């Protein structure tokens, strides 16, 4: 077993080197997604730039309300365009997805971009059989005979680890457990051989053991299909196990991007460090967990001038922050926003949060 | 003397069917579990969804009826007590619920929510009551003026602390915390967990902590019971269970915790694969022919495992 393990680690290293030479699948440039609230537009995703390469898992982490899902939905064009304004560029296969008409966009999403949704209980249509739901994207994007479709569906079900695919094919979602449903959703996302896969919290709604199974499945599939994956999650454990590169988001901005090992060994931005310190399994038993003061500001109340994390690290002197925070390349491929990471330390003896007062 | 002692607790739900809607079978949600809580300790009950951990908690506080067995709270069997006798004892047991969004009455303000237990159990003038509620609200870190606000005006973490304040009003001895942080964000989760540890010392509380998150259980609990299909699989101190798991199911649960060190991710995957392999080949050593767990056998003074 150890030999096998060493071999795999070697393969992993080799393919890692390839990744950085690999082609980019998706290039997001200065993406801004603003929602209309009472006549004014407020940006939930505020100038995000991100590149996803072939065969690479890019994780996007942050608390709820940081704009992770809004980013994913912008890429897929799933926002309501009447109340949303999208600016910037999402370059995918040499076209800007934001400028495409819905008809053209429909040719891309579901085919070249697959999406895995968070809640397997609500993402499936309760009135259609599993087979029907996996074949649906094939109807739109591929010209296949019904026999070929069925064969392909059976293959997909086997690939996502469902053993009795004949039976599952004709069953309805309510007959399956949560883990099985999530596997079906992954099969739907993979139906037309996507080049890019967006997984929005794929394991959050699942039990621990099922979560482990789904993570292992995604890792295995990633090695087979060679597509880029955007993994959106708030669980740093899932990130540590799955990601190649990590982007930490706060209040609509990316505050730190680094390779996964670098990020966990040498986290720099105060927000990243606070997140890592607030996880129970990372700390000594019974030790105090770090609490990030305050909450993520809502997009209307967000102060868009200066470092957006500053109000939550009030003990950091003002001159440590930049007036107009930029991304700095601290090490090759390790970017951090703002300069406040330089002298950042956790205050001694400050535990809990007594003066966290309702507003 | 132990504060709470559960002896062979069973909660079975009847399945009705047939011509006269007769009872044809039972769902054995909890099927013969025993454990003890010492005053001041935190006992963790872990398992996947559907393993009976919540049912156990609800049976202790009386939200579910126990089919069989004893629940000895300070020596009195709560299963046999009825009506007002039971009420006297149950006053000392309080519960923190999982979802802070649905466990607070949206039409009551915070004062009325927190004062409700006081109105049920204690005679207080409105002035005294207000003072008491304000002190509690202050203790859980909310602004004393916020008692006239309604639940929708608070964030998830604040609501959960209102739930905790409500549980604290009667100075209980035992608090049953049913997944108190699983609906919250990581940073808010840390806040609530820290706070629960603080008040445990201050009010000398005993916790029965129910969760599916092994990371949190490890962080919070002194002793842990692992449940599967309504039975105990393994019981022991946090060290026993995490460093020296004996039962296959425990090993499987622990292997499922995401690895925080990116360097070790392949080892973890292999560990999981080998455990799954063992699960397939050695199933019969761990479960009897009906797929039921064996009874617990102690292997050291603190550690017991369900093995043959």
Give tens-digit pLDDT for B47-67. Answer: 888 889 999 999 999 888 899
Query: Mean pLDDT across the stretch B239-266?
Result: 88
Closest partner residue to B187 (CB to CB) among A63, A237, A358 is A63
Residue B155 has pLDDT above 90, yes or no: no
With CA atoms as reference, report the closest residue to B174 among B264, B269, B282, B92: B92
What token pair was written down for A287?
A: 């030790």
**pLDDT of res. A358:** 34
A250-259 pLDDT tens trace: 999 999 999 9
**Residue A267 burial by Cβ neighbours in a 10 Å radius (0-12, 13-18, 19+):** buried
Query: Mean pLDDT across the stretch B272-285?
Result: 85
CB-CB under 8 Å, A356 with B141: yes
pTM, entire model? 0.84
B74-88 pLDDT tens trace: 988 988 888 888 888
Q: Residue B280: pLDDT band by 50, 70, 90 thresholds?
A: confident
Q: What is the mean pLDDT of chain A?
A: 86
Query: Is B153 within 8 Å of chain A by CB?
Result: yes
CB-CB under 8 Å, A281 with B215: yes
With CA atoms as reference, report the closest residue to B3 among B80, B92, B95, B73: B73
CB-CB under 8 Å, A278 with B189: yes
Residue B172 has pLDDT above 80, yes or no: yes
* DSSP symbol at A280: G
What token pair was written down for A147?
A: 């026999």
Nearest CA in chain A to B261: A240
Query: Mean pLDDT across the stretch B260-289?
Result: 85
Mapped onto helix, strand or coil, the DSSP state of residue A197 is strand
Q: At what angle do helices B156-168 and B186-203 cross, to 10 degrees?
A: 20
Q: Which residue out of B114, B143, B158, B190 would a mutagenesis test of the A interface target, given it has the greatest number of A Cβ atoms within 10 Å?
A: B190
Strand ranges inside chain A, DSSP E: 24-37, 40-53, 57-61, 84-92, 95-96, 113-116, 196-200, 228-233, 245-250, 253-259, 327-331, 334-337
Residue A284 has pLDDT above 80, yes or no: no
Lowest mean pLDDT among A126-130, A262-266, A310-314, B37-41: A310-314
Separation of CA B258 from chain center: 22
A94: left (phi over 0), alpha (psi -120 to 50) or beta: left
Q: Are A44 and A250 in contact (CB under 8 A)?
A: no
Closest chain A C-alpha to B79 CA, distance in angstroms? 32
| Chain B residues with CB-CB distance to A295 below 8 A | 155, 157, 188
Query: How far is A258 from A58, CA to CA, in rounded Å?
Result: 10
Query: How far is A206 from B49, CA to CA, in rounded Å?
Result: 9
Pairing of strands B174-178, B206-211: parallel
Query: How far is B74 from A50, CA to CA, in rounded Å?
Result: 60
**pLDDT of res. A19:** 47
Please state the φ and ψ torsions of residue B211, each to the nearest 5 degrees.
-160, 160
Query: Is B197 within 8 Å of chain A by CB?
Result: yes
Residue B139 has pLDDT above 90, yes or no: no
CB-CB under 8 Å, A215 with B219: no
Query: How far is A85 from A80, CA to CA, in rounded Å?
Result: 9
Residue A356 has pLDDT above 60, yes or no: no
**pLDDT of res. A220:** 86
Query: Mean pLDDT across the stretch A258-265?
Result: 93
Q: Residue A349: pLDDT band by 50, 70, 90 thresholds?
A: low
Closest chain B C-alpha to A261 CA, distance in angstroms? 6
CB-CB under 8 Å, B149 with A286: no
Residue A355 has pLDDT above 60, yes or no: no
Residue A8 has pLDDT above 90, yes or no: no
Q: Are A127 and A143 in contact (CB under 8 A)?
A: no
Q: Are A237 and B258 in contact (CB under 8 A)?
A: yes
Residue tagged 């870190």 (tokens): B141
Query: Is B138 within 8 Å of chain A by CB?
Result: no
CB-CB under 8 Å, A212 with B219: no
Query: Mean pLDDT across the stretch A145-167?
Result: 92
Residue A21 has pLDDT above 60, yes or no: no
Q: Which residues contact B271 (CB under 8 A, 6 or more apart)?
A: B255
Query: How far is A259 from B18, CA to CA, in rounded Å?
Result: 61
> Which secondary structure element, helix H or strand E, spans residue B93, and what is its range?
strand B93-96
Residue B182 has pLDDT above 80, yes or no: yes
| Chain A residues with CB-CB distance to B265 below 8 A | 240-242
Q: Are B225 and B45 in contact (CB under 8 A)?
A: yes
The distance in angstroms from the start CA to the end CA of chain A is 57
**pLDDT of res. A16:** 53
Q: Are B164 and B188 in contact (CB under 8 A)?
A: no
CB-CB under 8 Å, B190 with A289: yes
Q: Cβ–Cβ contacts within 10 Å for residue B81, how many?
A: 17
Q: Are A66 and A249 in contact (CB under 8 A)?
A: yes
DSSP string, A153-177: HHHHHHHTT-S-HHHHHT--GGGS-
| Chain A residues with CB-CB distance to B272 below 8 A | 212, 216
B191-235 pLDDT tens trace: 889 889 999 999 999 999 999 888 889 899 999 999 998 999 999
CB-CB under 8 Å, A241 with B268: yes
Query: Mean pLDDT across the stretch A161-180?
Result: 91
Query: How far is A47 from B302, CA to CA, in rounded Å?
Result: 56
Maximum mean pLDDT: which of A284-293, B17-26, B239-248, B276-285: B239-248
Stronger pLDDT, A15 or B252, i.e. the higher one: B252
Asked whether the CA dihedral A147, A149, A151, A153 is positive or negative, the reply is: negative
Query: Mean pLDDT across the stretch A216-238?
Result: 88
A317-339 pLDDT tens trace: 888 898 889 999 999 999 999 99
Q: Which residues of B204-220 are buried (b: 16+ CB within 10 A; e: fewer)?
A: ebbbbbbbbbbbbbbbb
Mapped onto helix, strand or coil, the DSSP state of residue A121 is coil
Q: Which residues contact A309 (CB under 8 A, 6 or more apart)?
A: A250, A251, A255, A269, A270, A271, A338, A340
Q: Are B177 and B196 in contact (CB under 8 A)?
A: yes
**pLDDT of res. A172:** 94
Q: Residue B263: pLDDT band by 50, 70, 90 thresholds?
A: confident
| Chain A residues with CB-CB distance to B147 below 8 A | none
Please state the φ and ψ torsions of residue A39, each to the nearest 5 degrees.
90, -20
Q: Residue A49: pLDDT band by 50, 70, 90 thresholds?
A: very high
Residue A66 has pLDDT above 80, yes or no: yes
The distance in angstroms from the start CA to the end CA of chain B is 30
């Amino acid at each position: 077993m150890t030999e096998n393990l060493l071999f795999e680690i070697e393969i992993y290293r080799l393919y890692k080197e390839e990744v950085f030479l690999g082609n980019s699948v998706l290039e997001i440039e200065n993406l801004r997604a603003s929602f209309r609230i009472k006549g004014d537009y407020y940006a939930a995703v505020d100038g995000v730039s991100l590149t996803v390469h072939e065969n690479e898992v890019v994780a996007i982490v942050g608390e709820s309300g940081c704009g992770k899902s809004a980013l994913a939905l912008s890429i897929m064009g799933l926002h309501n365009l009447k109340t949303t304004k999208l600016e910037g560029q999402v370059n995918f296969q040499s076209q800007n997805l934001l400028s495409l008409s819905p008809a053209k966009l429909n040719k891309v999403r579901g085919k070249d971009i697959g999406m895995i949704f968070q809640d397997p209980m609500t993402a499936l249509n309760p009135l259609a059989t599993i087979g029907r739901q996996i074949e649906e994207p094939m109807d739109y994007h591929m010209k296949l005979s019904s026999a070929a479709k069925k064969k392909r569906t059976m293959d997909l079900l086997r690939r996502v680890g469902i053993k009795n695919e004949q039976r599952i094919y004709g069953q309805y979602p309510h007959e399956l457990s949560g883990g099985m449903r999530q596997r079906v959703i992954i099969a739907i996302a993979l139906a037309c051989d996507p080049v890019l896969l967006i997984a929005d919290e794929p394991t959050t709604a699942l039990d621990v053991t099922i979560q482990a199974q789904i993570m292992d499945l995604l890792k295995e599939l990633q090695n087979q299909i060679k597509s880029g994956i955007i993994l959106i999650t708030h669980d740093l454990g899932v990130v540590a196990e799955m990601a190649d590169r990590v982007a930490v988001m706060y209040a609509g901005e990316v505050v730190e991007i680094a390779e996964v090992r670098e990020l966990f060994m040498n986290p720099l931005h105060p927000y990243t460090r606070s997140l890592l310190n607030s996880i129970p399994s990372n700390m000594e038993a019974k030790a105090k967990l770090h609490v990030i003061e305050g909450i993520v500001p809502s997009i209307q109340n967000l102060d868009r001038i200066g470092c957006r994390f500053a109000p939550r690290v009030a003990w950091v002197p003002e001159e440590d922050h930049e007036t107009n925070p930029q991304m700095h390349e601290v090490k090759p491929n390790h970017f951090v926003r703002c300069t406040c990471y330089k002298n950042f330390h956790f205050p001694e003896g400050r535990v809990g949060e007594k003066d966290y007062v309702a507003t | 003397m132990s504060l709470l002692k559960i002896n062979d607790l069973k909660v079975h739900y009847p399945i009705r069917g047939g011509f006269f809607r007769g009872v044809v079978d039972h769902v054995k949600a909890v099927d013969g579990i025993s454990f003890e809580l010492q005053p001041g300790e935190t006992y963790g009950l872990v398992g996947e969804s559907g393993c009976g951990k919540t049912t156990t908690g609800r049976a202790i506080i009386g939200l579910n009826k126990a089919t069989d067995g004893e629940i000895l709270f300070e020596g009195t069997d709560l299963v046999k007590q009825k009506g007002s006798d039971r009420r006297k004892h149950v006053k000392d047991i309080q519960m923190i619920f999982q979802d802070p969004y649905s466990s607070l009455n949206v039409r009551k303000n915070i004062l009325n929510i927190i004062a409700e237990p006081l109105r049920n159990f204690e005679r207080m003038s409105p002035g005294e009551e207000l003072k008491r509620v304000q002190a509690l609200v202050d203790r859980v870190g909310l602004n004393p003026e916020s008692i006239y606000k309604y639940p929708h005006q608070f964030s998830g973490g604040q609501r959960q602390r209102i739930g905790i304040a409500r549980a604290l009003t009667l100075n209980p001895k035992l608090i049953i915390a049913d997944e108190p942080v699983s609906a919250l964000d990581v940073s808010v989760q840390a806040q609530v967990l820290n706070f629960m540890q603080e008040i445990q010392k201050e009010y000398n509380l005993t916790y029965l902590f129910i969760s599916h998150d092994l990371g949190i259980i490890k962080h919070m609990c002194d002793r842990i019971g692992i449940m599967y299909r309504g039975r105990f699989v393994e019981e022991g101190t946090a060290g026993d269970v995490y460093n020296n798991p004996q039962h296959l199911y425990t090993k499987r649960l622990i292997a499922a915790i995401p690895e925080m060190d990116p360097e070790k991710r392949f080892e973890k995957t292999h560990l999981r694969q080998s455990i799954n392999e063992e699960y397939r080949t050695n199933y019969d050593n761990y479960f009897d022919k009906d797929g039921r767990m064996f009874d617990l056998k102690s292997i050291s003074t603190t550690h017991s495992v369900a093995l043959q």
